[in-house]
Structure formats: C-alpha cells, structure tokens
C-alpha cells in the first residue's frame, strides 16, 4: 500500500515494545490501561513537536534571562468515546494545560456505521489546535465522522492520533481529510469480516473498561 502523505507511523522501540503487550490477550485490564496511556504519551512527544513557542523573561537563582514557553491558545484533546478516553491521561501528563472535549460515537455492529450521541468541545475553536484521539482506525467511519463534526464546529487545525490503523481506515480518512495529519503507532494488515483490525488488539473499549 502506498501511504498517503498525511499519514505517519510513529516509530520508537518503547512504543513497539509496549504495543506488543497491549495486543497480547494475556495482558490484564489494569496493565492494558496503563500501557495505552504510556504509548499515547510517547506518541504525543512526536505529535506536538511543531507546537509554537514564545519568549518570556524569567529570573533564575543566578540571573535574569529570556526563555521559551508554549505560545497561543491551549491545545484541545478530543477523545472519541469510549476508547479514546483511555489515551487522554497519558497526553495530559505531558501537556497538563490542554483542554479536553468529547465526541460520543459508537459503531453499529451490523452496518459498521458510526452512531453519534454526544459532542462537547471548548468555544473559540477557530483559534485552537485539536488532537482527535481514538486507539482504533478500522473502517475509518468513526474518525471521519468525528473530524467532520470538529470542522462543522469551526475547527481549523486538527491532528488525528490512533494506536492501530487498518489500511482501509487510513485510505478512507486520509482521502476524506487530506488536511489532517494522522499519527499511528502501527499500521496493521487488514480488517476481518466483522470489521476488526487484524492482528489488532480486539475491542479497545471492552479491554479498557472490562465490558466483555
């Protein structure tokens, strides 16, 4: 598969190592949740590397100096419910001042189409940088729908991050939203007949919240 220009796999030995245990069926719910947050934090280091800075004057115990802090409006993390929630705390450890919006969607089990039930994001979206978050990009239906909702609300600057992407989802999302850069920790083989990613990690929401 020729990868779209707006798609990037974030590679790092720690990410690959932790992802192996995230995939493993033997991993407990507690460990799964911890590992998902850790990988999200590691990915966020790469995803936020173009955040703008501004200079401020400070005084160290030695002298006055000019140093840099993050500039502009606060970043907004937008997890797609439910499973996206599992990645938020890890990112907030790096960027504690980020705001958090929520998009409630679930995938209809038969049609695999997203069904929307909640939407809440901070005001003044035009001036904010959004990171849309979901561990799984499978058919791409949910992520495309969520990005449409953000754009309809006025968001101009959006990135999308996931743990595992399927080729079908990458193609669908990157075609629908060529202006949104997509970051994944892994690009897997394919979808199975039920729309699950192969080899994947199973149902992300069920594994995070113990609902199966």
In the complex, which residues of this chain contact ligand URA (CB under 6 A)? 83, 136, 138, 195-197, 200, 203-205
Residue 207: enclosing H or E segment and its boundaries? helix 204-209
In the bound state, the residue with its beta carbon closest to ligand PRP is: 205
Residues 127 to 166 in contact with ligand PRP, rule: CB under 6 A? 134-143
> Angle CA(59)–CA(62)–CA(65) in degrees, nearest 5?
40
Contact partner, 141, from ligand PRP, ligand URA, none, Cβ < 5-8 Å per class:
ligand PRP
Residue 162 CA from chain centroid, whole number: 4
Catalytic positions, written as ranges: 107, 111, 203, 206
Smallest separation, CB 111 to ligand PRP (Å): 10
Residues 157, 127 contacting (CB under 8 angstroms): no
**HSE-up of residue 31 (Cα within 13 Å, Cβ side):** 11
In angstroms, the CA 109 to CA 124 distance is 35
Among 40, 42, 83, 121, binds ligand PRP (CB under 6 A): 83
In angstroms, the CA 177 to CA 50 distance is 20
- Per-residue binding string, ligand PRP, 103-122, x by CB under 6 A, is --xxx----x-x--------
In angstroms, the CA 114 to CA 116 distance is 6
Stretch touching ligand PRP by CB under 6 A, among 51-59, 94-102, 122-130, 201-209: 201-209
SS3 128: coil
Smallest separation, CB 200 to ligand URA (Å): 4
Contact partner, 80, from ligand PRP, ligand URA, none, Cβ < 5-8 Å per class:
ligand PRP
In angstroms, the CA 186 to CA 17 distance is 12
Contact partner, 197, from ligand URA, ligand PRP, none, Cβ < 5-8 Å per class:
ligand URA
Q: Residues in the site for ligand PRP, rule: CB under 6 A? A: 80-83, 105-107, 112, 114, 134-143, 169, 195, 203-205
């Amino acid at each position: 598969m020729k990868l779209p220009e707006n798609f990037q796999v974030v590679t790092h030995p720690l990410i690959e190592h932790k992802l192996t245990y995230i995939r493993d069926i033997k991993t407990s719910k507690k460990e799964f949740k911890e590992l998902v947050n850790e990988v999200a934090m590691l990915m966020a280091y790469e995803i936020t590397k173009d955040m703008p800075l501004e200079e401020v004057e400070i005084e160290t115990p030695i002298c006055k100096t000019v140093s840099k802090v993050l500039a502009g409006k606060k970043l907004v993390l937008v997890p797609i419910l439910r499973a996206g929630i599992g990645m938020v705390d890890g990112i907030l450890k790096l960027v504690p001042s980020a705001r958090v919006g929520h998009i409630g969607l679930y995938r209809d089990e038969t049609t695999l189409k997203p069904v929307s039930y909640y939407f809440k994001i901070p005001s003044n979206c035009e001036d904010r940088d959004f990171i849309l978050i979901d561990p799984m990009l499978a058919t791409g239906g949910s992520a495309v729908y969520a990005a449409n909702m953000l754009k309809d609300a006025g968001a101009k600057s959006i990135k999308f991050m996931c743990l595992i992407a399927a080729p079908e989802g990458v193609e669908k999302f990157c075609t629908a939203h060529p202006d949104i850069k997509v970051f994944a920790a892994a690009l897997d083989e394919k979808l199975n007949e039920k729309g699950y990613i192969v080899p994947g990690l199973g149902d992300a929401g069920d594994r995070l919240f113990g609902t199966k």
